[in-house]
Amino acid sequence: MTLTSILALSFLLAAAQTPAPAANKVEIVSVTGCLREQGAGNWMLVAATDPVPSAANQAPAAELPKTPPAGKNSFRLLGVGEFSLGQHRDRTMVIRGLLIKANPSRINMTSSVEAVATCAAGAPK
């Protein structure tokens, strides 16, 4: 066996042992935006930040914004029955959950916390 053959075989064996990335992995993310009810029971987070990787747990106070962000994203919220969202309508919320990339993107909620008692100026109704 030549040195080239040995190196090629080593490369093939190493590649075979590398795990393949998970197909259709659903990420847990955190987003911050304005909570709106658009029709009965249809909860949206509008003027929302870009999703960032996160834990499913509620955001700690140190991570809450002091002013409403003026994001450009909208997310339909799923799994809302476990959260008393009505008392937070038209307020800035930090929502964490499973991101479902679609049109519109959706978040299956795992936690929510109110960050600011108002929404960003110009947040869609």
Is 72:47 a contact under the CB 8 Å cutoff?
Answer: yes
Place of tokens 């479902």: 100
**pLDDT score at 107:** 97
Is 124:74 a contact under the CB 8 Å cutoff?
Answer: yes
Selecting from 3.40.50, 1.10.287, 2.30.29, 2.40.50, what CATH number does the domain 26-116 have? 2.40.50
- Beta strand 106-116 with 73-78 is parallel
Which sign does the torsion angle of CA 29, 32, 38, 40 carry? positive
d(CA 87, CA 49): 22
Is 74:50 a contact under the CB 8 Å cutoff?
Answer: no
108 has a pLDDT exceeding 90: yes
Indicate the domain borders of the chain. 26-116
- Beta strand 92-100 with 52-53 is unpaired
pTM confidence score: 0.78
pLDDT in tens, 16-51: 565 555 556 778 999 999 999 998 989 999 999 999
For 43, residues 6+ apart whose C-beta sits below 8 A from its C-beta are: 35, 36, 37, 76, 77, 80, 85
The percentage of the chain sitting over the pLDDT mark of 90, rounded to a whole number, equals 62
**pLDDT score at 73:** 96
